[in-house]
Structure 1
Amino acid sequence: MKSGIVLLFLVLMACLTTFGQKKQSPKGDEKGLIKVSVMYPAGEGKTFNMEYYETKHMPMVAGLLGSNLVKYTIEKGLASGIPNQPLPYVAIGIFYVKNLADYQASIAPNRDAIRADIANYTNIAPVILVSEVVK
């Protein structure tokens, strides 16, 4: 009898644990989000301090975006997509946000501070693309 109660208790706990968990979105499910890609073109004489970008600049901008920010990524350029061609970008920073208007409202009053910080890690003028993730 005692072992039956223990078994019943264990089954109930397993069910509660399994069914009580929040369902996670599939990894990489960004459909419908706004994607802000900040791309740094490669070229002769261009410099980029990845450590500063990763530990200071991107976290600073991410903090400005608040709850609108879903996630951000940092990419380091390795090669061109075409063999024996020059590297197109040394780095790309990407922010995934829920709402474009909220993104713009967060960035606008901080634009000068963000631009001023660029000199701390690169001499490259970034190219920015704002897009919607469709798949």
Structure 2
Amino acid sequence: MTFKLIVSCLLLTVCFAALGQEKQSPKAKKHSSAVVEKGLIKVSVMYPFAEGKTFDIAYYENKHMPMVAGFLGSNLVKYTIEKGISSGIPNQPLPYMAIGTFYVKSLSDYQAAIGPNRDAIRADFANYTTITPVILVSEVVR
């Protein structure tokens, strides 16, 4: 019975770890508590839901977001990918199909990295979505 309990606990640990995985830069893995650090810049790329629009989450996760993360280099602390599943209000449409978020140390370094790569980033949209994203740049205050 002890062996079964140990195996069950290990399986639960692996499942919870897999559910909580986030994409991080190699440096961020060493300092994962820095993610909620006051003063970080958060760039949210939100894809609003609309009837007939498409979004390929697998491509976004495996190709697009890693490409953009590569442009950001050491300025990137972490990035996350969220897949919309429901509205917070019953019987209301899904507000966003997906949201990609980058946490960076410096807004000016972010802009310097994205500027020369903007055309490549935009050209890749056609590979995963028919949605024009809404982008919000904010500062983490807590």
List alignment gaps of at least 5 residues for structure 1. Answer: 1-22
Aligned to 2:51: 44
Aligned to 2:132: 125
Match of 1:105 among 108, 112, 124: 112
* 1:31 CA drift (Å): 1.8
Write out per-residue CA displacement over residues 68-119 of structure 1, whole angstroms, 9 at most, x where no aligned residue. Answer: 0000000000111111100000000000000000000000000000000000
- After superposition, the CA RMSD in angstroms is 1.5
**Conserved in 1, the CA contact under 8 Å of 2:45 and 2:136?**
yes
**Conserved in 1, the CA contact under 8 Å of 2:36 and 2:140?**
no
Inter-CA distance 25–53: structure 2 relative to 1 (3 Å threshold): closer
Match of 1:82 among 79, 85, 89: 89
Write out per-residue CA displacement over residues 14-67 of structure 1, whole angstroms, 9 at most, x where no aligned residue. Answer: xxxxxxxxx956475232100000000001010000000000000000000000
With the length of structure 1 as denominator, give the TM-score of the two structures: 0.80
Aligned to 1:20: none
Inter-CA distance 98–85: structure 2 relative to 1 (3 Å threshold): same
Q: Does 1:116 align with 2:123?
A: yes
Q: Does 1:69 align with 2:108?
A: no
Inter-CA distance 44–25: structure 2 relative to 1 (3 Å threshold): closer
Instruction: Give the % identical residues.
Output: 79
With the length of structure 2 as denominator, give the TM-score of the two structures: 0.76
Inter-CA distance 24–70: structure 2 relative to 1 (3 Å threshold): closer
**Size of the alignment, in residue pairs?**
113
Aligned to 1:95: 102
The AA in structure 2 aligned to 1:104 is Q
Structure of higher CA gyration radius: 1
Provide runs of 4+ in structure 1 moved above 6 Å: none
SS of match in other structure, 1:128: strand
